[in-house]
Amino acid sequence: MKRYIKLLLIFIFIIFLSGCTKILKDDENKRVVFEKTGQGLTENIVCQPTNKKVVELYKKNNIKIDVLPKCDQFKLTEEKYEGIWTSLFVKPLVWLILKLGVFVNNYGISLIIVSILIRLVLYPVTKGTALQSENLKKAKPELDRIEKKYKDKKSQEDVMKKSQEIMLIYKKNNINPLSGCLFGFIQLPLFFAFLEAINRTPAIFEEDLLSFQLGTTPYIGIQNGQFQYLILMILLLSITYFAFKLNKTAAVNNESQKQMEFVSKIMIFIIGFASLNFSTAISIYWIASNTFTIIQNKIVQRSKK
């Protein structure tokens, strides 16, 4: 666990050292928002916007967008170094989304394809997490028997014996108790990388996919009577719920099970509330990524059977 915490701290340290998305603010230090979409504009965009009103907002706030390349001409070789996080993670991701977007003629579709491609690359790691969950489910009857055996035994000796017996079951079933944390450590940097790539690339948040405008937040969409954004939110919450349900590990006892379910519900509520003010592009990335998780875990479950 200490090793995972150190890795997370190093990751956060790199982000803060490297610099992230800079919010565009006006002379009164208020965030500049494109009212039509609800999209908060980013100061350090990597390529030129094409929407005339967005261009006017940038120029009004003294951002020299003319020196930036057009989004369909964005090249990694011509980009200056902006730190480890931006130069090695965000900009290559931007480049991949843009190049694929030109090829498929839609940056929304490109975003979905790239998120799935990255999850395919990470499949050996995330598959291991899913396998651990299945192994824990298999071992749960034995763990329940141990829990029942030591239910009223609170001495230090009994606690040690209980721990030893649990560890023997873990070893027997090839279980690593910390493996469930790994999925979270993978999801977090991926989410931040996609969030920053989208916010810094006008071509993405100016794009449409089906009846959805990728820069529009669900809050603004619903407020303007575009109720398809409500359907998007329901889809996001449903897929997140099933992804959490399939990816969670079996608990050692009923109390732990209740705690895990409570945490999952709180997380789903937080994600649902936050998604109101996330651009549609981020919601689409989240849906694509978690749909992959559901399919992956179903495949693992069938293979174990």
Q: pLDDT tens digit string along 5-24?
A: 555 555 555 555 445 778 88
Q: Residue 277: left if φ>0, alpha if ψ -120 to 50, beta else—which one?
A: alpha
- pLDDT-wise least confident of 12-21, 86-95, 96-105: 12-21
Q: Does residue 65 lie within any of the structural domains?
A: yes
More confident residue, 179 or 93: 93
Among residues 75, 300, 58, 60, which one has the least CA distance to residue 202?
58
Return the sign of the alpha-carbon dihedral for residues 162, 165, 169, 171: positive
Q: What is the pLDDT of residue 254?
A: 56
Inside any domain, residue 158? yes
pLDDT at 291 over 50: yes
Q: How many CA atoms lie within 13 A of 36 on its CB side?
A: 10
The verdict on 13 and 30 lying in the same domain is: yes
Q: By percentage, how much of the chain surpasses pLDDT 90?
A: 18
What average pLDDT does the segment 117-141 reach? 79
User: What residues does 100 pair with on adjacent strands?
Assistant: none
Going from the C-alpha of 291 to that of each of 35, 40, 132, 285, 298, the distances in angstroms are: 31, 27, 19, 10, 11
Helix, strand, coil shares of the chain, percent, nearest 5, are: 70, 5, 25
Q: Where in the sequence is the domain holding 15, given as residue range(s)? A: 2-126+176-304
* Domain count across the chain: 2
As a whole number, mean pLDDT of residues 177-198 equals 73
131 occurs within a structural domain: no
- Token pair listed for 165: 């017996």
Mean pLDDT of 48-61: 90
Choose from 13-17, 65-69, 131-135, 166-170 the range with maximum mean pLDDT: 65-69
- 293/239 Cα distance (integer angstroms): 10
Q: In terms of domains, do 233 and 108 share one?
A: yes
Structure tokens at 304: 């174990």
Is the domain of 198 the same as that of 262?
yes
Write down the pTM of the prediction.
0.79
When pLDDT is averaged across residues 103-127 and rounded to a whole number, the result is: 89
**Mean pLDDT in residue range 60-81:** 85
Mean pLDDT, rounded, for 200-206? 90
Sign for the pseudo-dihedral over CA of 15, 17, 18, 19: positive
Q: Does pLDDT of 250 surpass 50? A: no
Residues 231 and 261 grouped into a single domain: yes
* Portion of the chain with pLDDT greater than 70, in percent: 83
pLDDT digits (tens, 9 = 90+) for 31-43: 888 888 888 888 8
Residues 121 and 231 in one domain: yes
